[in-house]
């Protein structure tokens, strides 16, 4: 590792972090050096990257000296603290947490949809919520051809979307129940809330905290992130978006039943939409009901694409359709989208913090 970019992964020991290491190793980004950062508790652990053994270090503001690109996946409060420190030192941060997504100085990017938003970045680029990312990848080719007036989504989200500890908790509950026992629920639906419920053999219609209007914050994120990514404004009224987010007892891969309405009279048909999706970047069409072919979390796991099937018309509205969208929440929903953003920055020669931009993100 000599020529290329100096890269740091913040949150390198987490569910997303381990995949960031893997996706970076498979990307064409030239890596001059790689730093792996986590908490003091993980310092001293080692991870492999392209045949080299790298020791995990405790993240500190000084860790970002000499770093060109930070791939961050350590949660909102950690990102609030460290991203401005990194930008101040000249590093471009691609962040997985929700901390910066709604900040007007921060582009929220899914390269298949709005890569051009990277051109004006100020040093921090946000990666969307996992459930939003796969949905906009599937909706974009439809929007481009037929317009998009309304989206109604119901999600079926895997335990790993809540991090490694939540995934372990669900596995322990399932194992215990298989033997007629119970295991405690201490994390899900939301760490730090007064009540916890088992996800093993259960469904939890709460992802993140409740807003005053009765929506969960996950649902809120899907609404406003979709508008910001696809229509350039988090409060755009060009499209109506609503939905229900549900945690389901599987390990990896979010499923989404997406109902969408195109522009009136745009002429979309199921066959035409299937053809557009089959041609779209980052999409694999799996849609052959006669042969029982449709996307599933188990077959999407470990893959970078978003899988779409069950495209069919609303029989009572000529402009409306349903589709079923599945993707690996830890890859396109997180690590792969992050690395893909970094790859796009490298390809477009955008790995630089513009002069004066760091002042937009004051350090704590």
Ligand X SMILES: NC(=O)c1ccc[n+]([C@@H]2O[C@H](COP(=O)([O-])OP(=O)(O)OC[C@H]3O[C@@H](n4cnc5c(N)ncnc54)[C@H](OP(=O)(O)O)[C@@H]3O)[C@@H](O)[C@H]2O)c1
With CB atoms as reference, the residue minimizing the distance to ligand X is 14
Interface pattern 292-311 for ligand X (x via CB under 6 A): --------------------
DSSP 225-242: HHHHHHHS-TT-SSSEEE
| Residue 100 in tokens | 């910066």
| Separation of alpha carbons 225 and 227, rounded Å | 5
Whole-number minimum distance, CB 126 to ligand X, in Å? 10
* Residue 240 interacts with ligand X (CB under 6 A): yes or no: no
Whole-number minimum distance, CB 10 to ligand X, in Å? 6
| Residue 151 in tokens | 């989206």
Cα 363 vs. chain centroid, distance in angstroms?
25
Whole-number minimum distance, CB 309 to ligand X, in Å? 21
For residue 34, give the 3-state DSSP assignment.
strand
Whether 325 and 256 have beta carbons less than 8 Å apart is answered as: yes
Q: Which of 130, 179, 195, 322 is catalytic?
A: 130
Which span sits near ligand X by CB under 6 A: 215-223, 274-282, 325-333, 353-361? 325-333
| Separation of alpha carbons 12 and 14, rounded Å | 6
* Residue 164 interacts with ligand X (CB under 6 A): yes or no: yes
Residues 79-98 that bind ligand X (CB under 6 A): 96-97
Q: Which of 8, 16, 199, 341 binds ligand X (CB under 6 A)?
A: 16
For residues 190 and 311, which CB has a smaller minimum distance to ligand X in the complex? 190
**What is the end-to-end Cα distance of the chain in Å, rounded?**
33
* Residue 130 interacts with ligand X (CB under 6 A): yes or no: yes
For residue 22, give the 3-state DSSP assignment.
helix
**Residue 297 burial class via C-beta count within 10 angstroms: exposed 0-12, middle 13-18, buried 19 and up:** buried
Which span sits near ligand X by CB under 6 A: 178-186, 309-317, 328-336, 356-364? 328-336
Q: How many chain residues bind ligand X (CB under 6 A)?
A: 30
Q: Which of 11, 141, 189, 309 binds ligand X (CB under 6 A)?
A: 11
Helices (H), the chain: 15-26, 76-88, 111-114, 130-146, 164-178, 217-231, 270-279, 297-300, 336-347
The counts of H helices and E strands in the chain are 9, 13
* Residue 161 interacts with ligand X (CB under 6 A): yes or no: yes
Whole-number minimum distance, CB 47 to ligand X, in Å? 11
* Residue 61 interacts with ligand X (CB under 6 A): yes or no: no
| Separation of alpha carbons 175 and 12, rounded Å | 28
| Separation of alpha carbons 256 and 61, rounded Å | 39
Q: Which of 7, 333, 342, 361 binds ligand X (CB under 6 A)?
A: 333
* Beta-bridge mates of residue 76: none
Whole-number minimum distance, CB 121 to ligand X, in Å? 19
Q: Which of 5, 6, 7, 13 binds ligand X (CB under 6 A)?
A: 13
For residues 74 and 277, which CB has a smaller minimum distance to ligand X in the complex? 74
Q: Which of 6, 121, 224, 254 is catalytic?
A: 254
DSSP strand pairing (320-327 vs 254-261) = antiparallel
| Residue 258 in tokens | 């997406």
* Residue 59 interacts with ligand X (CB under 6 A): yes or no: yes
| Separation of alpha carbons 65 and 53, rounded Å | 21
For residues 46 and 269, which CB has a smaller minimum distance to ligand X in the complex? 46
Binding site for ligand X (CB under 6 A): 11-17, 37-39, 41-42, 59, 73-76, 78, 96-97, 130, 160-161, 163-165, 329-330, 333-334
The residues annotated as belonging to the active site are: 130, 254
């Amino acid at each position: 590792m000599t020529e290329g970019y100096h890269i740091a992964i913040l949150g390198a020991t987490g569910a997303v972090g381990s995949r960031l290491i893997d996706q970076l190793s498979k990307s064409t980004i030239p890596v001059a050096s790689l730093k792996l950062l986590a908490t003091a508790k993980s310092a001293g652990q080692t991870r492999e990257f392209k045949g080299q053994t790298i020791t995990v270090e405790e993240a500190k503001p000084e860790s970002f000296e000499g770093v060109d690109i930070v791939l961050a996946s350590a949660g909102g409060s950690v990102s609030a603290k460290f991203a401005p420190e990194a930008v101040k030192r000249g590093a471009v941060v691609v962040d997985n947490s929700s901390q910066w997504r709604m900040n007007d100085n921060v582009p929220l990017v899914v390269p298949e949809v709005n890569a051009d938003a990277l051109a004006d970045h100020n040093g921090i680029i946000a990666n969307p919520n996992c459930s939003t990312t796969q949905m906009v990848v599937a909706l974009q080719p439809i929007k481009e051809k037929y317009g998009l007036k309304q989206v109604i989504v119901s999600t079926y989200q895997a335990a790993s979307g809540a991090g490694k500890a939540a995934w372990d908790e669900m596995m322990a509950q399932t194992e215990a129940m298989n033997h007629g026992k119970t295991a405690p629920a201490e994390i899900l639906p939301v760490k730090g809330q007064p009540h916890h419920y088992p996800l093993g053999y259960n469904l939890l219609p709460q992802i993140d905290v409740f807003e005053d209007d009765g929506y969960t914050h996950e649902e809120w994120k899907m609404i406003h992130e979709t508008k910001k990514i696809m229509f350039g404004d988090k409060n755009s009224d060009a499209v109506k978006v609503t939905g229900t987010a549900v945690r389901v007892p599987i390990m990896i891969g979010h499923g989404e039943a997406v109902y969408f309405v195109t522009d009136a009279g745009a002429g979309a048909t199921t066959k035409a939409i299937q053809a557009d999706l089959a041609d779209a970047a980052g999409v694999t069409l799996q849609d052959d009901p006669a042969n029982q072919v449709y996307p599933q979390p188990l077959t999407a796991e470990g893959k970078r694409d978003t899988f779409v099937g069950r495209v069919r018309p609303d029989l009572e509205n000529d402009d409306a359709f349903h589709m079923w969208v599945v993707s690996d929440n830890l890859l396109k929903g997180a690590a792969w989208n992050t690395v893909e953003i970094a790859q796009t920055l490298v390809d477009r020669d955008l790995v630089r913090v513009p002069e004066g931009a760091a002042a937009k993100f004051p350090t704590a």
